[in-house]
Amino acid sequence: MRLTILSSVFLTLSSAFLLYALNNDTRALEEALQAQERVAAELKSDIAVLKAERAHLARPDRMEPAARLLGMAPPRPTQLTGKIETGSTKEHAGQ
Amino acid sequence: MGRSVTISSGLIPVAGKATPVPGPGGAVPRYPLRSAAMMAAVLAAFSVVGVQLVRLAGQGAGVPVAAISAPIATGTSRPDLVDRSGRLLAGDVELPSLFVDPLLVVDRDELVEKLRGVLPDLDEPGLRSALAEKGRRFHWVKRGLSPALAQRVHNLGLPGLAFRQELRRAYPGGHLAGHVLGGVNVDNRAVAGIERYLDEAQLVDPVVSVEPSSRVPVQLSLDMRVQHALEQELIEAKRTYRAQGAGGVVLDVETGEVIASSSLPFVDPSRLDQTMAGGVIDRIAGGTYELGSIFKLMTVAMALDSGRVTANTVLDLSQPLSAGRFEFKDHHGGARAMSVRDVFLKSSNVGAGTLALNEGTKRQKAFLASLGLADQIRTEAGPVAGPVVPGNWDRAETITVSFGHGIAVAPLQFAAAAAALVNGGEYVAPTLLKRPAGAVVERRRVISEKTSAALREMMRANVAERGGTGERAATPGFAVGGKTGTAEIAVRGRYDRNAVIASFLAAFPIEKPRYVTLVMLFRPARTAASGGEITASRTAAPATRRLVGRIAPLLGLKPDATANGS
C-alpha cells in the first residue's frame, strides 16, 4: 500500500512536471511561430511593394523613350529578306 | 520519581515547538526513514523547480515580444491584376494612414497649420470639426500616405497624430488601362471596372491585418505593350486632328479577348473618386454612338449572306430613296447603277439603303440581333452600355440603320460584331479575362464562311486599291482591310456637318484575321494634317495605319514585304 502511494505521488509529480514542461514548450513554439509569421507577413508586404516598384519602373511610358534612345524600334518589313525560318536553326547552322 | 520520560519520537512539545531531546547516553537519535524520505522528496521537488527556473531563464533570453492588441480596422485584400503576359497592373501594398486622437492634441491650430504645410489637400474643415467635437477619440486625417509623406508628418512631432498600416491598391502603370481596371474606394472595395469583377467573383478577402492577398493573380486579356501603343497613338491622333476625344479597342477575333481598350480623356485608377466626379466616361464600353458608314459592313454582310445578291450584283440606284417626307441621297452625287462591291467601296448610303430595303425590316432586325447588336451585352467589368434602337422601326429607320444612323451602339459591342464578320462568320462574346490555352470558346455562327471571305476581300480592296476610302490605312508590311465611318453628330435635333465621329474599323492580317481594331475620333477639326477635312479617311484611317504598324510586331505578326498596301 505504501509503495502504491509513493508510486502514485511520484507519478503525479512526474506528470505534473512533464505537463508543465510541455506547456512551456508549446508556448515557446507558439511564440516562435508567431515571430515567423510576422517575418513572413513583413516579407510578403515587402515583396508586394517591390513588385509594384518594379512594375512602376518598367512601365511602357518610361521604357519606350529609353528604348528609342538606344536606337531600338519595331522591325520594318524591309529588314526581313527572304524566307523566315522559325523552326530548327540546326539546319541553317549546318549549311 | 525524578526520572524523565522519553517520548518515542525524540521530540517534546515546548511552547508549541518541537525540540530534539538527546537520547540515552547524550547522543542525538537518528531520524526515522519516513522523515528522511520526506525531506528527500521536498529537496527533489525544489531541485526540479530550481532547474526548471534556470532552464526558462535561459530560454527567455531572446528578443522580447510585445503582445499588444491594438484595434485594427477591418480591410480587404485583393488579388493582383496582371496582363496577359503576367505584368503587374494592380496590386495591394501596405501604406500608412494618418489619424488623430483629438483628446491628445495640445494645440489644435498648430496641428492644422503644420499639417497643411505637409498635406496640401488636407480636409481642413473636417479636421477642425473633428478636433472640436467633445469626446471624440478618432478621426482619419489622410489615408494611404506615401512612406516619404508619412515620414514628413512624423517629423512634425505633433502629439495626437498616429499612423495605422492599411492595404491600399497600387496601379504602377498610372493611367494605363484606367477605364478597364476601374478602381477601389478608401476601404479597398471596388467601385468600377474589372475591380468590380473581383468583388462579384468573391476573390477578395476580409482581413484584420495588412497582409496582401495570397490568391493567384487574376490574368486579364490586355497586353500592356499594346495598350500603351494604343493610348499613345490616340493621344497623337487627338492632338494632330484637334479632336475633342478619342477611343480605340483591339480585339482578338478568334477568342474575343480584348487586347487593348482605351478612351480619352484617361482616368487614373488610383484617383478614381476624383476623376469619376468629373464625368469622364469610358467611350468604348460606357457610351453608345451612331457609328455611320462602318455599319455598312453589317448591311452588306446581311445582303450577301441571304444569297439575294453577290458582290458583283448591280443595283439600280437611279432614283433617290424616299420614306415619307425624307429623301436620301449620296453626298458625293452617287451613280445610276452600282455593284454591291462598289456600294461598299464608295460607301454609298443609297446603295446600303437599297440593300436593306431588299432584305426587309424584319430580316434587318433579326440579323443585327444575331450579331448581338440589339441587346445589352456584358463583360466581366459589368454591362456594356445598351444599344439605342429605333422605337418605331419602319422604312425610314431601315434605310438610316443601313448606313449607321438612327441606331447607337457601344464601340466594344460593334467591334465584337465586326469580328464575327471577318473571322469566318462566328460570333464570340468579348472578354476582359485571358482565356486559358486550349480553352473551348463558345461560338455562334452568324454568317457563312463564304460571306465572310467576300467581306474580307472588299475590306482589303477598300484599303489596298487606289481611291478606296480606307487607302490611308494601308500599313507597310501588314495586309490590312477596313471600313471608314464618318457619322454626323446630332446637335439640337439636327445633324451638324462640322461635328462628326470619325471611325475606322480594321482587320489584320486580312487573309485570315487575328485582330480587329476600332479607332474613333470625336469631333476632329479641319486641320492641315487632314487636308482640311474631317472625314474618317483623312483622320481615323491614318491613325489606324500608325497603330497597326506599331502593334502588329508586338502581337507577334511577321511583317510581309509584299503587303505594302496600295
Residue B94 confidence (pLDDT)? 87
Residues of B with catalytic roles = 293
d(CA A23, CA B125): 55
Residue A93 confidence (pLDDT)? 35
**Domain-by-domain residue ranges, chain A?**
2-72
For chain B, residues with pLDDT lower than 50 are 1-18, 566
d(CA B553, CA A75): 7
Residue B2 confidence (pLDDT)? 43
Residue B365 confidence (pLDDT)? 93
Q: What residues of A are in contact with residue B553 (Cβ under 8 Å)?
A: 74-75
Residue B31 confidence (pLDDT)? 63
- Which residue segments constitute the domains of chain B, with CATH numbers given? 225-554 (3.40.710.10)
Residue B439 confidence (pLDDT)? 86
**Are B176 and A60 within 8 A, CB to CB?**
yes
**Cβ atoms B166, B73 nearer than 8 A:** yes
Closest CA to B403 of B294, B537, B540: B294
Q: Does B560 touch chain A (CB under 8 A)?
A: yes
Confidence class for position A95, pLDDT limits 50, 70, 90:
very low
CA dihedral of residues A42, A43, A44, A50 (deg, nearest 10): 110
Residue B566 confidence (pLDDT)? 45
Q: What residues of B are in contact with residue A64 (Cβ under 8 Å)?
A: 228, 232
| ipTM higher than the 0.90 cut | no
Q: Which residues of A touch chain B, with CB atoms under 8 Å apart?
A: 9, 13, 17, 20-21, 24, 28, 31, 34-35, 41, 44-45, 48-49, 51-56, 58-61, 64, 74-81, 84
Q: What residues of B are in contact with residue A41 (Cβ under 8 Å)?
A: 209-211
What 8-state DSSP symbol labels residue B471? G
**Are B91 and A28 within 8 A, CB to CB?**
no
Q: Does B228 touch chain A (CB under 8 A)?
A: yes
**Are B225 and A60 within 8 A, CB to CB?**
yes
Residue B354 confidence (pLDDT)? 92
State mean pLDDT over A23-43: 93
Closest CA to B303 of B367, B225, B347: B367
**Are B210 and A45 within 8 A, CB to CB?**
yes
CB atoms inside a 10 Å sphere around CB B478: 24
CB atoms inside a 10 Å sphere around CB B111: 22
Closest-CA distance, B494 to chain A, in angstroms, reads 41
Give me chain A's average pLDDT, please: 82
Q: What residues of B are in contact with residue A28 (Cβ under 8 Å)?
A: 59
For the stretch B2-23, pLDDT in tens is: 444 444 444 444 444 445 555 5
Q: What residues of B are in contact with residue A49 (Cβ under 8 Å)?
A: 93-94
Please tell me which residue of chain B has the smallest CA distance to A49. Answer: B93
One-letter amino acid identity for B217? P
Residue B559 confidence (pLDDT)? 81
Confidence class for position A10, pLDDT limits 50, 70, 90:
very high
Residue B28 confidence (pLDDT)? 54
Beta bridge partners of B219: B82
Question: What does R_g of chain A's alpha carbons equal in angstroms?
Answer: 35
